[in-house]
Structure 1
């Protein structure tokens, strides 16, 4: 596993604030079931998101289209209600 640094990601993103927003959006997509764009190597979603950004696969320009694709993978709807009988 190659180590990903903030400096690697900042070569692709303008500033640290945008990097935080971009990486958190992508990590959330991965958590919700979106397919990773890089081999995961058992990394956590946040690390995978940073690796995707550092490789230029996830950008501020394409993150919204990736969000739309990840919505197809959502398994839970906010309106779902569960009852437990006891």
Structure 2
């Protein structure tokens, strides 16, 4: 079994703070039902799978700018506030 290390990911995203942020965002997306960009043959946890995607180059800095597909639930969320009726 090949082990993923942070050093492998730092080759793709050199800033460790950005790496942490990207991995956490992607892990949350995966936990909420987003499909993996790579094969998950080992049934890895979302955090490990996120690091594997980063090391494979499937996920990168574009996740911070919002140009990356996310989970199915997040695609239905809008920034518009819901209209509330005023009590009479």
Q: Which TM bucket (shorter chain)?
A: 0.7 to 0.9
What CA RMSD, in Å, does the superposition of the two structures yield over aligned residues?
1.7
Could you state the TM-score of these two structures normalised by the residue count of structure 2?
0.73
Give the 3-state SS of the residue equivalent to 1:2 in structure 2.
Answer: coil
Report runs of 4+ in structure 1 exceeding 2 Å deviation: none
Q: Look at both structures and tell me which one has the larger radius of gyration over its CA atoms.
A: 2
Rounded to whole Å, the distance in 2 between the matches of 1:65 and 1:36 is 16
Could you state the TM-score of these two structures normalised by the residue count of structure 1?
0.75
Count, aligned residues: 72
Rounded to whole Å, the distance in 1 between the matches of 2:70 and 2:24 is 14
Tell me, which stretches of 5 or more residues in structure 1 are unaligned?
78-86
Tell me, which stretches of 5 or more residues in structure 2 are unaligned?
78-88
